[in-house]
Structure 1
């Protein structure tokens, strides 16, 4: 009886750990995506300001 309960608990823990890993992976993935997007936005704003400065000079 006790051995069966322990096995069930181990299974639940394993699935819980897997869920945690998946959540962590998605959090990191989303953070990475946000970083990439912010870098792209920074690059485009930098290019826009650069072209504006060039237009003023020319």
Structure 2
């Protein structure tokens, strides 16, 4: 009987999937670190910044 040739497609696809998942995890970790360091949810415009400042300074 002839030997079966082994396809490289499945191992290559598995490596690509794991590499993509690893890259996504690293991006998420970096984004979490940056958001934790800046303590901001996103970019804040001047009007929003002023509103936050007024709310924080107003005595209740």
- Tell whether the structures are fold-level matches, with TM greater than 0.5: yes
Ranges of 4+ aligned residues in structure 1 off by more than 2 Å = none
- Mark the runs of 5 or more structure 1 residues left unpaired by the alignment: 51-55
TM-score (norm 1): 0.61
- Flag the structure with more relative contact order, 1 or 2, with Cα contacts below 8 A and sequence separation at least 6: 2
- Mark the runs of 5 or more structure 2 residues left unpaired by the alignment: 41-52, 54-60
The answer as to 2:2 corresponding to 1:19 is no
TM-score (norm 2): 0.59
More helix by share: 1
